[in-house]
Amino acid sequence: MSLKFCSFASGSSGNSYLIKSEETAILIDAGISGKRILQGLEETETPREAVSALLVTHEHADHVMSLPVMTKRIPDLKIYANEATWENIDRPVPEERKRVFRTGEPFRIGSLTIRPFPVPHDAAEPVGFSVQEEDSKISLVTDAGYITEEIYEEILDADLLLLEANHEREMLLMGRYPYPLKQRILGDEGHLSNLSAGECLCRLVEENQKKRQILLGHLSGENNDPHVALLTVENTLMEREIYTGGDLQVKVASRDERSGVYVV
């Protein structure tokens, strides 16, 4: 058995991801147009009627923009979020489509086990997700001000990890954003920097040496660049004599384009 992962878009302007097994397909977030999500499904040979659920990390627009469209275009689609997130989503979703999970409590969708875990961000009750089938595990951590111990424990054994690398700190500090916004991004309920992502990976590798695929995600279009993000992360790893390639594959998820399909 194996899991497949594809990023349809990952960035400050919109996010959506597909995870599927042979039996079950789910989406995580719908922060890009419904047209692009449906196109991503078609390009990954995923019939829309095969998608049984859409999981929501938190209520910000770049994660929920197309919820109404998706409930119309996929008639049996169920939308999963925790109660606090539902209370803050301003997009209309039919009541019969809504499902509520509790952060920290695993639940099942088809053949998949889903574990929502808390992340520090300035939303009502933001979460990351781990999705597992048998020995294959995919984890997603974005929109996090820092990596908590609970997050470390959750992602330590992930075979594929989508990890936020939102900004290059110096680009942010020298950029045109107003000071309060810079402080929000840099704060404990903001976003992970490239350096923070690299330091997180160092600890993961040192504590659990296993084969991993890493996708750096949720890059800022203003305060980051894919080449800069990858270079910063790789340099951080090399300073600890950890090298990419072999058991540690590190790539960047595009802000605007679909990724390849990763198999774990």
Q: Which two tokens stand for residue 19?
A: 């995870």
- Integer Cα distance of 50 and 24 in angstroms: 7
Please give the angle made by the CA atoms of 115, 41 and 6, to the nearest 5 degrees. Answer: 50
Q: Average of pLDDT values for 213-230?
A: 97
For 101, the domain range is 4-263
| Region of 104 on the Ramachandran plot (φ > 0 left; ψ -120 to 50 alpha; else beta) | left
Residue-level pLDDT at 1: 65
Q: Average of pLDDT values for 209-234?
A: 97
Show the DSSP H helices in the chain as ranges. Answer: 34-43, 61-64, 67-73, 83-88, 149-155, 169-174, 179-186, 194-207, 226-239
Residue-level pLDDT at 75: 87
Q: What does the pLDDT look like over 69-119, one tens digit per residue?
A: 999 999 899 999 999 999 999 999 999 999 999 999 999 999 999 999 999
Q: What does the pLDDT look like over 27-74, one tens digit per residue?
A: 999 999 999 999 999 999 999 999 999 999 999 999 999 999 999 999
CATH number at residue 160: 3.60.15.10
Residue-level pLDDT at 99: 98
Q: What's the domain count of the chain?
A: 1
% the chain with pLDDT above 70: 100
